[in-house]
Amino acid sequence: MSRLFGTDGVRGLANGELLTPELAVAVSASAARVLAESDRSHRPVAVVGRDPRASGEMLEAAVVAGLTSAGADAVRLGVLPTPAVAHLVGALGADLGVMISASHNAMPDNGIKLFAAGGQKLPDTVEDAIEAGMGAPGPRPTGSAIGRVRDDTAAIERYLDHLVASTPEPLAGLTVVVDCAHGAASFAAPEAYRRAGADVIAIHADPDGLNINDGVGSTHLESLQQAVVEHGAALGIAHDGDADRCLAVDETGAVVDGDRIMAVIAVAMREAGELVDDTLVATVMSNLGLHLAMQDMGISVRTTGVGDRYVLEELRAGGYSLGGEQSGHVVLPRHATTGDGLLTGLQLMARMAATKSSLAELAGIVTTLPQVLINVKVGDKAAVAASAAVTEAVAAAEAELGRTGRVLLRPSGTEQLVRVMVEAPTQAEADGVAQRLAAVVGSAS
């Protein structure tokens, strides 16, 4: 049987075969029991947030029921970004954080993410203990031992205060268009940017429970590109449904991905003496152009597997101060325990304000090698990725590209997909190699 927890919690079709209210009750109750067993000095307290998708209301009720049935108090935070939940676990002294969101996935999906005390992601060993405990009967408190429920209506204000205090430079004079993906940051992102001094134009900031990520946000940048040019804005910022990602658009409408955002912030931090060991942590998905640009700037790049949890592990292990992914997850451990799209947007704009440079100028230090990413739907992602036919095809592609490019093939951590990534000297070469590999992957399913 496959592991319940993926690279970013439990995710699937809400009220479908996997992600049911019953599962939400079981996961949260087991998490509360695991916490209680590790520290019996007090009743566990869990904070619970969600994004605005309709199924979040149902799952929030189930999560709260599970927590309280196991003797934990539950604090409902309402609709707010995932990084806000992570921050508030620490700020409120909670023992556990639960975020109900499927991030950039389409509306029918949802997910459950867990944060430990201090807002840290749970280690695999704790996730395994929670999963094991789901099938075992636990103590059933009664009377006054049953957990209590309350709402924290000031939670979003605490998070906004934290964001503004973390911004190193006032943003006066900058006009930004922010695409909120009809998601969890529809209020928080425009408000944070305004409070930091920017002139803000918000788009796709009217969630109705059904429209989250629907052709908008960080996975669909076309309308943001158009809006930036039409408004003559200095830049555009795009978030995903739970706002742990940040992608950008420069004043010309060109996309600035996570690699380039990290490069801009890394240089700023190095100049300020804040980049520990002059090192940036990135995943294997980061473009070769980022590595070359950082080398030119005297910055080392340490590489991890794909997933912000692996970036976080490397950041903690080495005490580093910046890491992230090409997809827009950027982690600044001085200010956050996980990827925070709003914090990233503020840091990026602060660099523009401090240098009085355009985003195109700042991001231009990275020359991106043509890169193609194809997601291939399969029946069993692990079996397909490990098949002999796929392994042989990857080896042949690597031999063809030599030192001028690279191939990365990996199963998705959250969906039944195999991701095929190819970099090559020209777009045509990258497209050709990627299409051939994707065909082999599809036929191996």
Query: Within 10 A of 131 (CB to CB), how many other CB atoms are there?
Result: 18
| CATH code reported for the domain at 371-443 | 3.30.310.50
Looking at residue 425, what is its pLDDT?
A: 86
- pLDDT score of 426 more than 80: yes
Distance CA(360)–CA(357), nearest Å, equals 8
How many residues in the chain? 445
Q: Report in angstroms the alpha-carbon separations of 300 from 263, 279, 326.
A: 11, 5, 17
Structure tokens at 105: 């996935």
Looking at residue 117, what is its pLDDT?
A: 93
**Judging by beta carbons within 10 Å of its beta carbon (0-12, 13-18, 19+), is residue 359 exposed, middle or buried?**
buried
- pLDDT score of 162 more than 90: yes
The band of 99, judged by pLDDT with boundaries at 50, 70 and 90, is very high
- Given a contact cutoff of 8 angstroms between Cβ atoms, the answer to whether 221 and 232 are in contact is no
Higher pLDDT, 366 or 402: 366
The crossing angle, in degrees rounded to 10, of helices 427-443 and 388-401 is 170
Looking at residue 64, what is its pLDDT?
A: 98
Distance CA(173)–CA(269), nearest Å, equals 22
Query: Within 10 A of 145 (CB to CB), how many other CB atoms are there?
Result: 11
The band of 112, judged by pLDDT with boundaries at 50, 70 and 90, is very high
Lowest mean pLDDT among 191-205, 340-354, 408-422: 408-422
Same fold, 10-153 and 371-443: no
Stretch 84-102: mean pLDDT: 97
The band of 197, judged by pLDDT with boundaries at 50, 70 and 90, is very high
Distance CA(276)–CA(141), nearest Å, equals 47
284-323 residue pLDDT tens = 889 988 988 999 999 999 999 888 888 999 999 999 999 9
Task: Work out whether strand 235-238 and strand 247-249 pair parallel, antiparallel, or are unpaired.
Answer: antiparallel
Looking at residue 204, what is its pLDDT?
A: 98
| DSSP three-state, residue 410 | strand
Distance CA(120)–CA(166), nearest Å, equals 19
> Domain extents for the chain?
10-153, 158-363, 371-443
Beta carbons within 8 Å of 61's beta carbon, 6+ residues apart: 21
Q: 10-153 adopts what CATH topology?
A: Alpha-D-Glucose-1,6-Bisphosphate; Chain A, domain 3 (3.40.120)
Q: What is the percentage of the chain residues whose pLDDT exceeds 90?
A: 85
Looking at residue 417, what is its pLDDT?
A: 93
124-158 residue pLDDT tens = 899 999 999 998 878 889 999 999 999 999 999 99
Structure tokens at 243: 């706002």
Looking at residue 288, what is its pLDDT?
A: 84
Higher pLDDT, 306 or 194: 194
Q: What is the percentage of the chain residues whose pLDDT exceeds 70?
A: 100
**Amino acid symbol at 131:** E
Higher pLDDT, 83 or 137: 83
The band of 237, judged by pLDDT with boundaries at 50, 70 and 90, is very high
The band of 37, judged by pLDDT with boundaries at 50, 70 and 90, is confident
403-419 residue pLDDT tens = 778 898 989 877 889 99
Distance CA(18)–CA(335), nearest Å, equals 35
Q: Per residue in 167-187, is it b (16+ CB within 10 Å) or e — as a string? A: bebebeebbbbbbbbbbbbbb
Looking at residue 439, what is its pLDDT?
A: 95
Q: Which residues are catalytic?
A: 103
The band of 350, judged by pLDDT with boundaries at 50, 70 and 90, is very high
Distance CA(368)–CA(248), nearest Å, equals 15
Q: Residue 239's closest CA among 226, 254, 258?
A: 258
- pLDDT score of 1 more than 70: no
User: What is the chain's mean pLDDT, rounded?
Assistant: 94
Looking at residue 135, what is its pLDDT?
A: 83
The band of 328, judged by pLDDT with boundaries at 50, 70 and 90, is very high
Q: Residue 329's closest CA among 317, 343, 313, 350?
A: 343
Structure tokens at 316: 């903690």
Looking at residue 292, what is its pLDDT?
A: 86
Distance CA(265)–CA(344), nearest Å, equals 9
**CATH class label, 158-363:** alpha beta
C-alpha 299: how far from chain center: 24
Q: How many CA atoms lie within 13 A of 246 on its CB side?
A: 29
